[in-house]
Structure 1
């Protein structure tokens, strides 16, 4: 049998990188030469252009979690098999994301709770609001922990010592000077500019990985090979695997099931799109999720083809600390997480105000109160552990699949709903299929988290 080598797929990584470069060039062209500000029809409030909304969605979807995808491939899944899984999840999650915009259009509402209350029972609407609230708490807490740890390392790299180099001090500094000003913004349009910067930072991370893959700095005899720990050195004992699947493939499935989560902000994204319509929103979502999908495919390919089965859960940890180019990548991902925090926090604040039915007069107090809780939690805890992972698996499946399916079912049954929007097939069979997929992901996600915690040998993972 012919052994596949890491260099055999250079064409694949170059193609994926070229697609991202073309997409960014097109977005820049549209932003510079065809950008027009507009106002919505309800209150004269400026909305987001399609390009601004696309960057906000991409930044909400693509986070630091992309750095764990190469390990999902290395754990026992063929690269091409994993790529097909990624394409499937991108299509499924993009469909349910755009579905929320269509539900908002039909109901005339701007939140999961209000949409559900319009077409179903109030208790179900309240349950959705509570689940969204809990999920976004975990999301923001995870972001805050990453920010605290990343910038503490950056400060120490810059020579800062003592209490100012602790994770708590780093987080407090970032909170006062960056997070508070960003989180106080009511309009997501303003955050689109920081989202653009964050997206560029994430692209830079994968671009630097592409350079190191192409120049061979980490192959045996390469510039940085001898500076790596033994466990971080590339391992291609069995060659590059293309189509293999094992029980450990469920680790990648678990990662992908949460990799495209941004659905808690979908209603707000739709409501703040200029001249919003389901068709216009659908086009933006297709562009955003396609961009995110290519980023995921790119980093999976480059990370795995550079380090093979040695790829760590945080792929940047594989690279040498003496590699200045990869140090810039660590800076970039840290700032990208900072710019992602306000978008996740917006979902948290909106879900809390919806759950407890708070008016806009409480905007400032809710913002400062929630930020205080999140920051205190991140200063006290540095590992969310089993509860966070299990909660993410369960709540993520509910928010991305089960809730949209339920809303589709009820909205399609309403006699006064726009029948041309859903038709007869979608509210029944399509809703059932999406809900079933959500239940399967919920069950498998929970099982995988528990197995990783208590029976890692069953997944062929290190204990």
Structure 2
């Protein structure tokens, strides 16, 4: 085994981070060079990148009564001509034209290729948002209720049901944002429920992000310690506390103080790779998939790495079964709420499609001709509203497609890692399932390396989200705008607090379960249901939006009943999960 100098390794780690911190600042000042114009959002430590809109020369604005021939328009773009008839007719078929029809016509140019690219990018980033360190704790959630292999089936059923519910509430956020055009969840609460209690949304998001940050610090300490043992280091060099301090001061601190996080965008791809590689690796190490797995206890002669495991890592099966209805199963509920929580990026995701449409000629290119008539003031206005409605529906449909794709993929990944991790280690599945694997396992070493890169790249986005919520709450309660000097001070205090807390805590699964049970349940189940109930309540005078509950009374009534159930279910499950986790039931 090749031994590497610890000091040279630390230098190799800190030097690239220093360059990554200062290189973008230097390049941005070079004449003729501009950084990519990408709009980035933070979520569970992950990047939500919006593709830069490129206008194609084939798109032409309609400035006169003559419309450019559609044969010259790029095949990758869909051109829809909406005719605003200046006469009395308002029928929809008269709005669609395919040739020159004179004055009063508008053209909507929908860049189909660009929209598909944004949908693909949004889906992958939504998966990356949810598939963080939380998925690595799911096997332990199953182990809390049973160490029999048959216990995985009700666990998969529970994860699938919670995935469907989480996808529904995520879509509910999209519908509410669509109706209110709110930019943040806090603004959505202000428009729907009450301005006086809107601070609760910021506090909930802050607490959840702090829980994510703490789990990230614990994950960094665990995987870095395992990597050091693989290299062959000893003593303080394999201490998890040592690596938490070193990585925080030499890597995370300069990255978290970057003015722009555009330079960290490539690490989003590393995060997706880490999830996929870890999923495939855990599946291949499962004895039921690969009978010759080095962790197999099924066939004689298998399990070549079992002797390198400690008693806490060794597979354990067939001793305890408490059942899915036991309170211990609520530990898995809290972890599932954490693993499926990407709801706080819903406003950014929705407005990414709005920005794309606005940048592409504002989607609606109007002619200079006068479209009003003697008796058609309402006609012109109505046609314009219909056109906007078509564009809005396209935006909302794109949001739903991203939501569906993201949650389906996340559910599959969650179930695979949960199932294969539990079927490999059973009742001894640890809070971070990678800790169960031997330090001599090369595949586990690769997974730990990519996980480290993913966490280091996502940590600055978590810190930025926490800082934004803290400064927002400070502005709300102190009635003063934050100063520029408040940002680095807040960043330093956050890093110090999370680092100190990670010194005294060691179980990432405990933190993930608590964060998911408390704020995961609130953001994923309780808050969106309350928002929907308030928005569809005609008696609510505080709400500034209306979800048109009179248009479909029966379906709306059923949906309101379901949302009431989610409020009660989320509240009960949150408190029960906290009791189960802290009580060690």
The normalised TM-score by structure 2 is: 0.62
Aligned mates of 1:363, 1:128 — CA distance in 2:
23
Aligned mates of 2:552, 2:135 — CA distance in 1:
36
* Matched residue, 1:430: 559
* 1:343–1:219 Cα change, 3 Å: same
* Matched residue, 1:113: 186
* Matched residue, 1:296: 414
Aligned mates of 1:346, 1:432 — CA distance in 2:
37
> How far did residue 51 of structure 1 move?
1.8
> How far did residue 317 of structure 1 move?
1.9
Larger radius of gyration: 2
Alignment of 1:186-265 (within 5 A): 193-213=266-286, 214=290, 215-220=292-297, 221-222=301-302, 223-237=304-318, 246-265=326-345
Aligned mates of 2:187, 2:317 — CA distance in 1:
53
Equivalent pair of 2:514/2:581 in contact (CA under 8 Å): no
* Matched residue, 2:170: 97
277-286 or 128-137: which moved more?
128-137
More strand by proportion, 1 or 2?
A: 2
* Matched residue, 2:438: 320
> How far did residue 271 of structure 1 move?
1.7
What does the per-residue CA deviation read over 1:313-353, in whole Å, with 9 as the maximum and x for residues that have no partner?
32222211211221111222222222333443454344345
Aligned mates of 1:435, 1:154 — CA distance in 2:
48
What does the per-residue CA deviation read over 1:71-106, in whole Å, with 9 as the maximum and x for residues that have no partner?
222333521111111111111111111221221111
Aligned mates of 1:392, 1:116 — CA distance in 2:
21
* Matched residue, 2:525: 401
* 1:209–1:391 Cα change, 3 Å: closer
* Matched residue, 1:337: 455
> How far did residue 423 of structure 1 move?
4.7
SS of residue matched to 1:233: coil
RMSD over aligned Cα, in angstroms?
A: 3.7
> How far did residue 179 of structure 1 move?
4.0
> How far did residue 426 of structure 1 move?
6.2
* Matched residue, 2:212: 139
Aligned mates of 1:55, 1:216 — CA distance in 2:
31
Alignment of 1:21-420 (within 5 A): 37-38=52-53, 49-77=118-146, 78-151=151-224, 153-154=226-227, 157-158=230-231, 159=233, 165-181=242-258, 184-185=260-261, 193-213=266-286, 214=290, 215-220=292-297, 221-222=301-302, 223-237=304-318, 246-273=326-353, 274-275=356-357, 277-356=395-474, 365=485, 367-382=487-502, 383=504, 390=514, 392-413=516-537, 417=546, 419=548
Aligned mates of 1:191, 1:83 — CA distance in 2:
34
Equivalent pair of 1:63/1:340 in contact (CA under 8 Å): no
Equivalent pair of 1:141/1:374 in contact (CA under 8 Å): no
What does the per-residue CA deviation read over 1:384-415, in whole Å, with 9 as the maximum and x for residues that have no partner?
69898656522221111111112212223468
Aligned mates of 1:212, 1:161 — CA distance in 2:
30
Aligned mates of 2:324, 2:522 — CA distance in 1:
29
Aligned mates of 1:208, 1:168 — CA distance in 2:
29
* 1:150–1:307 Cα change, 3 Å: closer
The normalised TM-score by structure 1 is: 0.77
More helix by proportion, 1 or 2?
A: 1
Consecutive unaligned residues of structure 2, counting only runs of 5 or more, are 1-49, 56-107, 109-113, 358-393, 538-542
SS of residue matched to 1:38: coil
> How far did residue 128 of structure 1 move?
2.2
> How far did residue 39 of structure 1 move?
7.6
SS of residue matched to 1:272: helix
* 1:416–1:399 Cα change, 3 Å: closer
59-68 or 413-422: which moved more?
413-422
Equivalent pair of 2:137/2:512 in contact (CA under 8 Å): no
* Matched residue, 1:442: 571
Equivalent pair of 1:140/1:374 in contact (CA under 8 Å): no
SS of residue matched to 1:172: helix
* 1:380–1:421 Cα change, 3 Å: farther
* 1:415–1:204 Cα change, 3 Å: closer
* 1:123–1:177 Cα change, 3 Å: closer
SS of residue matched to 2:198: helix
Equivalent pair of 1:393/1:442 in contact (CA under 8 Å): no
Equivalent pair of 1:254/1:445 in contact (CA under 8 Å): yes
Aligned mates of 1:409, 1:191 — CA distance in 2:
39
